[in-house]
Structure 1
Amino acid sequence: MSALDLAIAAGVALVAGAINSVAGGGSLILFPTLVALGLGTVAANVTNSIAQWPGYLGGVLGFRSEYAGQRGRLLRFGLVALLGGVTGSVVLLTTPTSAFDVVVPVLVLLASLLLAVQPLITRRLRRAQDAGPRRDPAWLYVALFLATVYGGYFGGALGVILVGVLGVGLHRLKLANALKSALSAVTATVTVVVFGLFGPVDWPVVAVAAPASLLGGFLGARIATRIPTTPLRVFIVAFGIAVSVYLFARI
């Protein structure tokens, strides 16, 4: 890639990192940008996953005060996310690129639609929440595993899925949002290791995009309660749908 291409990738990664913390869906911005800059779909996906990893860590730092008293739950859920992330990453790297090219437009469209209905999910969860302690239901671990398998394979709008699953299982929306960042970070860490060792990663892009994503994730977590998310969500959803149409046309 040229210096201009790398600068574009870094700028978009900064925005994507912030979007992941504020509204979710940053992958829907960075992934198609990398494809437009000339990377193949699988290479763009694995490079996107590694480049955005620091942004998830920035989000965790931004929500660190919410993790008080959650050590045991973080360890249990983190182990599930570890197993799910490994499974999804291995499936991606061991199936033909042509299969991913067919599946990815559907995944982008699904991620966009999930992001579109996120406010409805959030409102329903907020009405149902309570502050009382409760035991984590068994089905929650299964749902988290399936969600993080998806995250290891593609990951677009993984945060939206995790908030929905955790919100239903825990009935504590604020905690669900914080745990979403932690579990996304675990899943992303798995993809860094697996894709870094075995995937077609574009390392120059990672070198410029990863620091930008870290800064964007931290800044996004700090300003998440201060900016309107509806216009941002509308833009991301519209952009994601347009990208899915473009990818469908390429098949």
Structure 2
Amino acid sequence: MNAWEACVVFAAGAGAGAINTLVGSGTLFTFPALLACGISPVTAMISNSIGLTPGSIAGVIGYRRELAGQRARVLRFGGMSFLGALTGGTLLLTLPERVFTSIAPVLILFACALIIFQPQISARLQERRAARPHGGPLLPLGVYGAGVYGGYFVAAQGVILISLLSSSLNDEMQRLNALKNVLALIVNASVALFYLVLAEPHWGAVALISTGSVIGGYFAAKFGRRLRPGALRALIVVIGLTAAVQLVLR
């Protein structure tokens, strides 16, 4: 990796840390950057998962005030996120790389579609939101499924989680976003430890993404609420489509 590529990966890590704190889908920044540097798709995803974990920690710290009174939810759903992450990580390491290369463009397009239609989805879910404090019996299964998705392919797991939480829990969106950040951190940290033991990441990329994601996550938690969501969604979608094209053309 040359100096120019290192700068691109660092900038992508900073953008991903910020986006993950606010919405989720920062992998659509870092994954294309790693592919452009010539890193193989599976190694790129492994390095990305490890590198984004420190940024997830920064995001959780930034939203710590909104976590007040949510300990029971964290304990209830955190275990499901952990189990889902281990399932997804196992799938990534055991399935042939061609399976990931084939399915990743579909997952990226799915993530982009979620981001494009997020306002409409959120509005519909707000209308149907249940008044149960823990979301009913199906929400833990949904959180597990999001963990599997996040462990296998990190991008947009935050969008999936916030959709699940907002449709099932009667609470303020900022508090749900704080809970989403904790669950995403559990997934990212679980698969990061999993990959540290069983996989071979690209350590240069891990270092650059880690440093950038911490900076991005910190400033997003402080100032990110001022960003215009429409412009943010458009940028993420363009980068995500670029990654999908890169994978198809490999």
Q: Same fold (TM over 0.5)?
A: yes
The residue aligned with 1:81 is 81
Q: Report the Cα distance in structure 1 between the residues aligned to 2:126 and 2:221, rounded to whole angstroms.
A: 20
Q: Which amino acid aligns with 2:91?
A: V
- Structure 1 segment 39-78 matched on structure 2, within 5 A: 39-78=39-78
Q: Any idea what SS the aligned residue of 2:133 has?
A: coil
The residue aligned with 1:22 is 22
Deviation at 1:201, TM superposition (A): 0.2
Deviation at 1:134, TM superposition (A): 2.7
Q: Report the Cα distance in structure 1 between the residues aligned to 2:186 and 2:206, rounded to whole angstroms.
A: 18
Q: Report the Cα distance in structure 1 between the residues aligned to 2:12 and 2:154, rounded to whole angstroms.
A: 17
Map Cα deviations across residues 104-154 of structure 1 (whole Å, 9 max, x no partner).
111111111111111112222344458x66343110011100111000001
The residue aligned with 2:160 is 161
The residue aligned with 1:146 is 145
Q: Report the Cα distance in structure 1 between the residues aligned to 2:230 and 2:76, rounded to whole angstroms.
A: 33
CA contact (8 A) 2:25 2:154 kept: no
Deviation at 1:75, TM superposition (A): 1.1
Q: Which amino acid aligns with 2:105?
A: P
Q: Report the Cα distance in structure 2 between the residues aligned to 1:107 and 1:5, rounded to whole angstroms.
A: 25
Deviation at 1:2, TM superposition (A): 2.2
Q: Report the Cα distance in structure 1 between the residues aligned to 2:128 and 2:226, rounded to whole angstroms.
A: 24
Deviation at 1:5, TM superposition (A): 2.1
The residue aligned with 2:105 is 105
Map Cα deviations across residues 171-230 of structure 1 (whole Å, 9 max, x no partner).
323322111100000000011101111123001221222021011112112223212121
The residue aligned with 1:234 is 234
* Deviates most, 30-39 or 204-213: 204-213
Structure 1: give runs of 5+ residues left out of the alignment.
none
Identity within the alignment, %: 37
Deviation at 1:76, TM superposition (A): 1.5
Relative to the length of structure 2, the TM-score reads 0.94
Q: Report the Cα distance in structure 1 between the residues aligned to 2:154 and 2:208, rounded to whole angstroms.
A: 21
Q: Which amino acid aligns with 1:67?
A: L
Q: Which amino acid aligns with 1:146?
A: G
The residue aligned with 2:135 is 136
Q: Any idea what SS the aligned residue of 2:138 has?
A: helix
The residue aligned with 2:221 is 221
Q: Which amino acid aligns with 2:63?
A: F
Q: Report the Cα distance in structure 2 between the residues aligned to 1:135 and 1:21, rounded to whole angstroms.
A: 23
Q: Report the Cα distance in structure 2 between the residues aligned to 1:90 and 1:30, rounded to whole angstroms.
A: 22
CA contact (8 A) 1:59 1:218 kept: yes
Structure 2: give runs of 5+ residues left out of the alignment.
none
Q: Report the Cα distance in structure 2 between the residues aligned to 1:199 and 1:119, rounded to whole angstroms.
A: 37
Relative to the length of structure 1, the TM-score reads 0.94
* Deviates most, 237-246 or 195-204: 237-246
Q: Report the Cα distance in structure 2 between the residues aligned to 1:25 and 1:147, rounded to whole angstroms.
A: 13
Q: Report the Cα distance in structure 2 between the residues aligned to 1:46 and 1:13, rounded to whole angstroms.
A: 14
Q: Which amino acid aligns with 1:246?
A: Q
The residue aligned with 1:34 is 34
Q: Any idea what SS the aligned residue of 1:224 has?
A: helix
Q: Any idea what SS the aligned residue of 2:38 has?
A: coil
Q: How many residues align?
A: 249
Q: Report the Cα distance in structure 2 between the residues aligned to 1:243 and 1:229, rounded to whole angstroms.
A: 21
The residue aligned with 1:118 is 118
Q: Aligned Cα RMSD in Å?
A: 1.6
